[in-house]
Amino acid sequence: MQKGEFLYEGKAKKIYATDQPGLVWIEYKDDATAFNGLKKGTISGKGELNNKISAYFFQLLAQKGIESHFVQLVSDNEQIVKKVEIVPLEVVVRNIAAGSLAKRLGLEEGTAMQQPVVELYYKNDELGDPLINYYHALALGLATREEMLYMEEMGLKINAILQEYLRDKEIILVDFKLEFGRVDGKIILADEISPDTCRFWDAETREKLDKDRFRRDLGGVEEAYQEVYRRLTGN
């Protein structure tokens, strides 16, 4: 497959066309941003690690019957994915209170939820991705009720699969963010699943193995991402 013209640059990835209709070429960058782009930096090796970790999770989910945009890895920091129309909603699933949920509800970080929490955020950089509900999403025409129900159901299913899988790797899945895309009249999982988009804690020490190390200046960011990759793959 050939890498085609440059199409779009996001905060963590660049997208190029390919010579195959319906497929795009994604390059994962080392650039890191947090707090809606207010904090910027680079994490050496991040592009490569997130590319491989995302591919690993998408392949795991495919084995469990969850369809995603992932097609194949093409280099250490690049993968081919199906071209989709991204639904402008972020679906967040949480098992343990952390980040914005801990703040919003006045919970101590680390408080276990009595059941998983699913939230929808409006993907809008200018607004800082606000938390919204079905009424807002329907009023703005962001997605249909059926699409939202489906994405939430997929979020919970993915949560159950990843939680069980990561438990064996001594990793607690605290929370994560998913994005979905429309293609051929259906909705499939898109974007990435990586330490940039999930909170992973070491099961024994509760040490953070994710982007919170960058957000909170804890150091050892690359090492944490590497540790997640090592536990998943043994490499």
User: Which residues contact ligand U5P by CB under 6 A?
Assistant: 92, 98-101, 129, 175-177, 197-199, 211
Residue 5 CB, shortest distance to ligand U5P, in Å, is 27
Q: Which is nearer to ligand U5P, 18 or 52 (CB)?
A: 52
| Cross-strand pairs, 85 | 182
Q: Which residues contact 214 (CB under 8 A, 6 or more apart)?
A: 32, 34, 39, 41, 43, 221
Residue with the CB atom nearest ligand U5P in the bound state: 99
Q: Which is nearer to ligand U5P, 69 or 211 (CB)?
A: 211
What's the length of the chain? 235
Residue 124 CB, shortest distance to ligand U5P, in Å, is 11
The closest alpha carbon to 73, from 60, 59, 84, 88, belongs to 59
**What 8-state DSSP symbol labels residue 126?**
G
Residue 101 CB, shortest distance to ligand U5P, in Å, is 6
84 backbone dihedrals φ, ψ, rounded to 5°: -130, 165
Residue 13 CB, shortest distance to ligand U5P, in Å, is 13
Q: Which is nearer to ligand U5P, 48 or 212 (CB)?
A: 212
